[in-house]
Amino acid sequence: MPLSIHSRYHGLPTVDVGGSVSLAQRPPAPERDYPDSLIHEIVGGETLDQLAKLYYGREDLWWRIADANPRRFAHAWGPGDKLVIPPIQVATRTAAR
């Protein structure tokens, strides 16, 4: 089944995993910086879904924060780490591309 152009995986290269073709696991870093992004310093046991709820009002957008911070596994963040929080227009794909 072909991927929708609206899928976060659209346009990603494929990789060979144990003889099966699969999509790459993470999209590359964003092609541009968004000047209205926020920097959030993690405190306590905050998780990406909690941050998505805080900044976007929707827990299901946690992966947008993960994609904006590709240098680290999404569950490897800890207190004191700083992450980029993309603006809501980017997180909900309402921004012009």
Domain residues of the chain, as ranges?
28-91
pLDDT grade for 95, boundaries at 50, 70 and 90: very low
pLDDT grade for 67, boundaries at 50, 70 and 90: confident
> Per the confidence metrics, is the pTM higher than 0.75?
no
The kind and range of the H/E element at 64 are: helix 62-68
Query: What is the homologous superfamily of the domain 28-91 according to CATH?
Result: LysM domain (3.10.350.10)
Please state the three-class secondary structure of 18-53 as a single string: CCEEEECCCCCCCCCCCCCCEEEECCCCCCHHHHHH
Q: Which has more pLDDT, 45 or 54?
A: 54
pLDDT digits (tens, 9 = 90+) for 5-23: 666 666 666 777 677 766 6
Best CA proximity match to 81, nearest among 66, 59, 96, 91: 66
- The mean per-residue pLDDT over the stretch 11-39 comes to 68
